[in-house]
Chains A and B, each alone.
Chain A
């Protein structure tokens, strides 16, 4: 969409906290799994209509500042509601155990996360390539005016896309909640990694984002095993190296 959203990490964080609230209230992870992405999508749609829509013209800097403001607001709201302490929720019933696979032991929840990730990735790839919405969106980003002239309701497509992105961030938050800690700073840590992933893979390329995520994830794990102190540094070094060789990312289009 060519929108730089620093508050995307906040959507992830809010998703995790919604999951926490729902699990505490109803004890049902699956309810949270459905509710949180929907709520986040609604929130995303509202923010897009009220705020972001005005800023597409103003370029990335205005977007950076606006969304930086939102990160402060969200983190403070979460802190006001839940306090600064770390929360956690248990994995859903049936996924708390471990599974033996190819001679190694995996926690069954990790496999579930893997499954969700693959499903979402496949859905995005296919949707972007082959669905009508994907085609309309590609057209809208490529040339807004031309798409509009051809009868595409570009603003509505953008709102929908933004909401969809926010919903996915919420879904990621729910899925991450039983695996990682839920705390008010979780938005920043995921945001920086997500930016690295996207830049590494190339903006506007879903395949690139998947590839970037694999590199960052593997790099982090390998880095942590080899030299734990500088694992994060390794990831950034890889990203710097890639951008020097290919300034628009691994699979990004050349500008």
Chain B
């Protein structure tokens, strides 16, 4: 018990140092690396939401990028209709993704294991097909371009614009830290514990009178909502929303980030997101065959570091 508190206090201190270290990035890092760190933070929010599903609820979704993409498109559509304001635009991504997740979750959660994996993949590809083909709404493969970044009341007074890399980076950092905190609280709450119970032994939890489907469904919708917020951030950051955001490889990279970092830790997916993003964007800048190296890296991780980066630290 005491040991538990000590380690959690140590973890909290570590996290605070990490967050402060990240917050200083805009002050010293080259522009290109601020950009990479921003993308990595957005991806980290997405990966953390996937960890809620994969790690805590034990639901391996291979279609999580669908909600990321839905969030991005919702934010883009609203922003392009002259809606301004940071909070409405962030929220609309989350709400839209959560709404879309309801029917998908209700259907997918009737299955489990590989079937769940493939069903989520199928639904995600369906939405991807919709994004490509519903040209009047999404402009097809061209995507929605020219999405303006919102203004935030208060920041104007300080003459800070979210178009500045540093300011936008700090915004992403704040969202990431909030996501981490919310998910951490959720994971330690009775809700989180029940989810873990269902993952370990569903029959038994049901025998105890727990409505297991409802818990899973709630986890699915919450995870989708957070992924949608990440999608909103991505739309603001890039200034465009394209069908690529929903493509199955995006879901695959999400899973990789969670597993490379280590599941059921939340901090693991953040680390994993940074590894994947730095590998992706960093490598592609310097070498042509970056996908090859990235693929080999994943293969190596699965074979030799099954617990992920967090597992390495835990063991020592």
Contact = CB atoms under 8 A, between A and B. Distances in A.
Interface string B126-143: 100110011100000000
Size category of the B interface is 35 or more
A187 to B, nearest CB: 11
Contact of B302 (A66, A75, A232, A248): A66
Contact of B295 (A73, A79, A240): A73
A65 B305 CA distance: 12
A157 interface: no
Interface string A220-255: 000000000110110011011001100110000000
Contact of B248 (A58, A80, A192, A240): A192
B61 to A, nearest CB: 11
B119 interface: yes
A196 B252 CA distance: 17
B60 A60 contact: yes
Contacts of B289: 76, 80
Contacts, number: 127
B119 A240 contact: yes
Interface stretch (B41-49, B110-118, B184-192, B203-211): B110-118
The interface residues of chain A, by DSSP majority, are classed as helix
Size category of the A interface is 35 or more
B122 A69 contact: no
A66 B122 contact: no
B88 interface: no
B111 A243 contact: yes
Contacts of A236: 122-123, 125-126, 129
A179 B115 CA distance: 31
Contacts of B241: none
Nearest to A191: B248
Interface in A72-96: 72-73, 75-77, 79-80
A54 B290 CA distance: 26
B248 A230 contact: no
B119 A80 contact: no
A247 B115 CA distance: 8
A61 B264 CA distance: 14
A60 B54 CA distance: 12
A71 interface: yes
A92 B116 CA distance: 42
B255 interface: yes
B306 A62 contact: yes
B122 A73 contact: no
A203 interface: yes
A195 B120 CA distance: 12
Contact of B110 (A69, A230, A233, A247): A247
B26 to A, nearest CB: 32
Given A73-B292, A76-B291, A243 B115 contact: yes
B107 A240 contact: yes
Contacts of B125: 192, 232, 236
B112 to A, nearest CB: 8
Contacts of A70: 295, 299
B121 A192 contact: yes
Contacts of A55: 302-303
A157 B135 CA distance: 49
A243 B107 contact: yes
A230 B118 contact: no
Given A51-B299, A203-B114, A64 B255 contact: yes
Contact of A69 (B113, B295, B306): B295
A195 B62 CA distance: 12
A64 B291 CA distance: 17
Given A72-B292, A240-B119, 6 more contacts: A4-B114, A68-B252, A72-B295, A73-B299, A76-B289, A248-B115
Interface of A: 4, 6, 51, 54-55, 58, 60-62, 64-66, 68-73, 75-77, 79-80, 188, 192, 195-196, 199, 203, 229-230, 232-233, 236-237, 239-240, 243-244, 247-248
12 contacts: A61-B60, A62-B302, A65-B255, A66-B299, A66-B303, A70-B295, A72-B291, A188-B249, A195-B122, A232-B126, A244-B110, A247-B111
